[in-house]
Structure 1
């Protein structure tokens, strides 16, 4: 009887176990279970941030200090409003910082892809993407659930990646499109300004060459004026010595270097106005002039 009882117990247990194994399973992903996440590369360079995300990072700290009671969605909405009201000069600062951050990320990523750490990460990612065969187990329900939770445990989040998660809201996407349009407009304006600057630079170089040429001509003219002035002084001394013994009619004063100009004007006036009356004077002047020509 004892053997029959033991056999009956074993038969009953086996039937129940067999029934448990052959029970139909539900299709789809079970409720409460989490999908397996692909491994993240913790050694990779930090991704670049857009100008709006940089502005959000600055404003978020300001709002947390000035208005600590705001919720996350309220902070996001307020930051979006401030970004829309921001002037173009302030926006350009953040957009330029975003471009610099993007260049930084590309350079660091190119260097990182040459390292062994990146190759090891690719191998881990390929292994994670390869589906593993289902495990057969006959453990109790509690132990089986525990094993599934251990296998499907999520990787802890990186606290430094909070700002790297983009906020894909309709408002954010709209602002991002507007900012990209403004950035293209700024680049076009910058190109136009560079062309105008090149034209102005050519005008400046032309003006410099013109100024240099005029300065050279001015120096040459000053030199000619100095030579003419010296020639005039020599001519005055020569005339004063030549006509020193010929005073004007009605005047006994002889000409000097200081008075030779007025003397020659008065002498010319006497000869032209009364040539018949001053024939002797005309002959004397002709003689003096002929001697000057000979010398």
Structure 2
């Protein structure tokens, strides 16, 4: 397939992100700029493949801006008379070449076509570019394998997290059940203490004023306060008759299994 004649007046095609990177690196490094075309592009192709995505983004953005600008300029150029003149000239030239090729094909004397064109795909630049693309392709395949391995590791990590979450939920459920059981036992003990000690009136004193007067009866909501006051009386040796009465009531309830302290 023949290449279409080039329009020298048309806007120049914009460089790709990779070519922008190549240009920048050549300006940054004299050593790279001095290398042969193939060696330089092989090195830069490897660098580009390993370049992080955030660093590539700047080149892609610049390439997009240049491509958008080129598209706009090309659209404006195609409306110009210069483009129409070139189109007419290119069409005429192509028609002449087609006729010439047809004449060669119908040559009854030689029976062969005389080549009259150059094949650009066999140029040194194209071969070097093709080798560069192969290097980039190998790098991309390598990255694809690495990404697959990372994906497998992440999947395993996710599975471990799911298992850990399930285990944690199971432990929380077990702790909650144990807590609920303890609360039920505490409520039962409070009810049993109220039933056993409900008739006992406990003198209420304070540490600052042992002679203060007051009484307290045990209820389900005041069990802790009642037992705390009982402990103060026992420690101060005051109202020992009441303290002994409480002790006797508790011993009797335990003996009759009305009060179940052992679970």
| TM-score, normalisation: structure 1 | 0.47
Q: Map of 1:118-137 to 2, 5 A cutoff?
A: none
Paired position in structure 2 for 1:191:
145
Higher Cα Rg, which structure: 1
Q: Secondary structure at the match of 2:163?
A: helix
Paired position in structure 2 for 1:282:
243
| Structure 2 unaligned residues grouped into runs of 5+ | 22-47, 57-105, 204-212, 258-263
Paired position in structure 2 for 1:267:
230
Distance apart, 1:153 and its partner CA: 3.5
Distance apart, 1:166 and its partner CA: 5.9
CA distance in structure 1 between the aligned counterparts of 2:201 and 2:154, rounded to whole angstroms: 67
| Backbone CA RMSD of aligned residues | 3.7
CA distance in structure 1 between the aligned counterparts of 2:18 and 2:165, rounded to whole angstroms: 50
State whether structure 2 residue 190 is matched by structure 1 residue 236: yes
Paired position in structure 1 for 2:77:
none
Deviations 1:169-195 (A, max 9, x none): 121111111111111111111112211
Cα gap change, 1:222 to 1:82, in 2 (>3 Å) = closer
In structure 1, which of residues 217, 225, 250 is the aligned counterpart of residue 171 of structure 2?
Answer: 217
CA distance in structure 1 between the aligned counterparts of 2:17 and 2:223, rounded to whole angstroms: 87
CA distance in structure 1 between the aligned counterparts of 2:217 and 2:243, rounded to whole angstroms: 17
Q: Which structure has more RCO (C-alpha within 8 Å, separation ≥ 6)?
A: 1
Paired position in structure 2 for 1:30:
none
Paired position in structure 2 for 1:69:
7
Paired position in structure 2 for 1:256:
219
Paired position in structure 2 for 1:161:
none
Cα gap change, 1:227 to 1:188, in 2 (>3 Å) = same
Distance apart, 1:228 and its partner CA: 1.0
In structure 1, which of residues 78, 85, 102 is the aligned counterpart of residue 19 of structure 2?
Answer: 85
Distance apart, 1:208 and its partner CA: 1.0
Paired position in structure 1 for 2:261:
none
CA distance in structure 1 between the aligned counterparts of 2:130 and 2:15, rounded to whole angstroms: 13
Q: For this pair of structures, how many residues does the alignment match?
A: 162
Cα gap change, 1:70 to 1:79, in 2 (>3 Å) = same
Paired position in structure 2 for 1:150:
108
Cα gap change, 1:82 to 1:171, in 2 (>3 Å) = farther
Q: Secondary structure at the match of 1:167?
A: helix
CA contact (8 A) 2:202 2:242 kept: no
Paired position in structure 1 for 2:132:
178
CA distance in structure 1 between the aligned counterparts of 2:239 and 2:199, rounded to whole angstroms: 17
Distance apart, 1:264 and its partner CA: 1.1
CA distance in structure 1 between the aligned counterparts of 2:108 and 2:215, rounded to whole angstroms: 138
